[in-house]
Amino acid sequence: MTGNGLVLHLQKVAGISGSEAHLLSLLPRLKERGWDVRFLMLHEHEPGAWEFARELTGRGIPLDAISLAADVDPIAFLRLGAYLARKRPKILHTHLVHADVYGQLTGALTGIPVRVSTKHGFNEFRENPGFALGDRAIATFAHTHIAISRGLARYLEEVEGFDGASFEIVHYGIEPDGAPRPYEGDVPRLLCVGRLIPIKGHIVLMRAFAEARRRIPGLELQIAGRGPLEPALRALAKELEIEDAVHFLGYVAPVQKAVADAAIVVVPSMGEGFGMVALEAMERARPVIAAEIGGLGELVQDGVTGLLVPPGEADPLVDAIVRLAGDLPRARAMGEAGRRRALEHFLQTRCTDRTELLYEGALAART
């Protein structure tokens, strides 16, 4: 594929989250298939950005960086324009809002032949009419639009006014890591993984957990992740008198270890573009209780690989926790079904195949 020219991926990075983990898996696979792949990182000198840079270059992907002095940085626009003029990529693939704004506009001005944009997630700022108008305007510069789930495409249609049918759907993929070990505990242990921010639904989860523990004494909850909400969550645990049963693990890597130590993984998000944590749990043969929102309903089969509940509602979440935590053989069977589903439908190979087809189609349409 090297004859197709440089494929440049562009994203603003502050740490390793869903979209970054996706790129750490996708870009090396594209390189293995012969694509000339490079990454350009926008950043504000966050330590997490350089952690990502080390991870990506360690996997053989060349990386360059441009710092931003502000969300809208005219100097950065000029530096990006000069960079694109030097590198002359055949394909410019942008991820997330900052890269769309900087990359799609500058890519059009510098005549990049194929411009691709991937939307990765829900954000409260998308509900601002001014932002929606600007996002749709920037989107006109991209030739191919990707959403990581049909649920996200519907959300963008409802909230920002996009044509949901215009999005190509490319789910994230996962790479299996050997056979999972069964849950060995007698006490049901729940795990929630994600940044400690409001959209991830930790407050609803903790209220539901407090009630579920009254029905199943000994129930435990582990919370993996860091974020600004941590002090408030610790205070809530104390208020609900469950601080002895809730364990804050901090940042956990790899997440599979924490998953292996849990009987059930809970994803109570108020918005989730795909739900990589749910997929990671399924690959490790753990059942998932998830809010039916965004991509989670495409991953979790209700009653088969886990249970789906309305987002933001504590009572249905209580019932789901009690149903699964109170029946560990059923939870185990759902976990095994989830693993089969993950390996059949969500391998990284499928994600890479789909991306390649979109690249080849876009190049053929413009040559």
Nearest to 116 by CA among 147, 70, 80, 87: 147
Cα 36 to the center of its chain, rounded Å? 25
Instruction: Residues 189-345: name the CATH superfamily.
Output: Glycogen Phosphorylase B; (3.40.50.2000)
DSSP lists the bridge partners of residue 288 as 265, 306
Q: How far apart are CA 228 and CA 168, in angstroms?
A: 34
Q: Are 288 and 281 in contact, with CB atoms under 8 Å apart?
A: yes
CATH topology of domain 2-173+347-365: Rossmann fold (3.40.50)
Instruction: State how far the Cα of 23 lies from the Cα of 57, in Å rounded to an integer.
Output: 12
Quickly tell me which residue has 């601002």 as its tokens: 128
Q: Give the percent of the chain with pLDDT over 90.
A: 89
Structure tokens given for 216:
């199943």
Q: Do domains 2-173+347-365 and 189-345 have the same CATH topology?
A: yes
Task: State residue 1's pLDDT score.
Answer: 52
- Checking 301-308 for CB contacts under 8 A at 24+ apart, the result is 301/337, 301/341, 304/334, 304/337, 304/341, 305/334, 305/335, 305/337, 305/338, 305/341, 306/278, 306/334, 306/338
Whole-structure pTM value: 0.92
Grade residue 121 by pLDDT with cuts at 50, 70 and 90. confident
Q: What is the mean pLDDT of residues 148-176?
A: 95
More confident residue, 173 or 254: 173
The answer to whether 205 touches 268, Cβ cutoff 8 Å, is: yes
- Mean pLDDT value across the chain: 95
Structure confidence at residue 151 (pLDDT)? 94
Give the model confidence (pLDDT) of 290-332 as tens digits: 999 999 999 999 999 999 999 999 999 999 999 999 999 999 9
Close Cβ partners of 184 (under 8 Å, ≥ 6 residues apart): none
Q: What is the pLDDT of residue 54?
A: 97
> What tens digit of pLDDT does each residue of 20-78 get?
999 999 999 999 999 999 999 999 999 999 999 999 999 999 999 999 998 889 999 99
- CA–CA distance, 176 with 173 (Å, rounded to integer): 10
Q: Which whole-number Å values give the CA distances from 210 to 229, 270, 326, in the listed order?
A: 18, 19, 15
pLDDT more than 70, % of the chain: 99
Instruction: Give the residue among 156, 177, 181 at the shortest CA–CA distance from 166.
Output: 156
- Domain ranges in the chain are 2-173+347-365, 189-345
Residue of 208, 198, 200 lying closest to 246 (CA atoms): 208
